[in-house]
Amino acid sequence: MRTYAFALLALAACSSSGPSGPPPRSYTDQSGRQCTTNGNGPSTCDETPAPTDACTVDYPTPCWDLFPTDTGGQNLIENCAACCNATEGAASASPADCTPIVCQAPADCPFDFNTCVNGLCAN
């Protein structure tokens, strides 16, 4: 009986009603959209995403997500209108739907993409 009670106490101590993972980070893309990400899954922006390609049954929900792109030898991080599902995040995005993230310092870039090169976030 004690073991069971201890296990329940340990489980209660480990669980939390607060958010898990890192705190949200805000960023701005080159189109001026203000966005927030928690580093895991799609971002939330002040504009509704409208991907060029129609969303599919497997990825039914328009979303904003971060994608690395190789432009002229620089690995920029771009904010893209894409199609997402609840378990896998975004499928892919059309390059026409992607906009670089702007920065003045590395802290302006979301999480692991903490390099600011010529005013744009890179990794």
What pLDDT digit, counting tens, does each position of 89-107 carry? 777 788 899 999 999 999 9
pTM over 0.85: no
Which pLDDT band holds residue 21 (cuts at 50, 70, 90)? Answer: low
Closest by Cα among 15, 17, 39 to 26: 39
Please report which helix (H) or strand (E) contains residue 6, including its range: helix 2-14
Quote the mean pLDDT of the chain: 79
CA distance 77 to 63: 16
Which pLDDT band holds residue 47 (cuts at 50, 70, 90)? Answer: very high
Residue that wins the pLDDT comparison between 89 and 81? 81
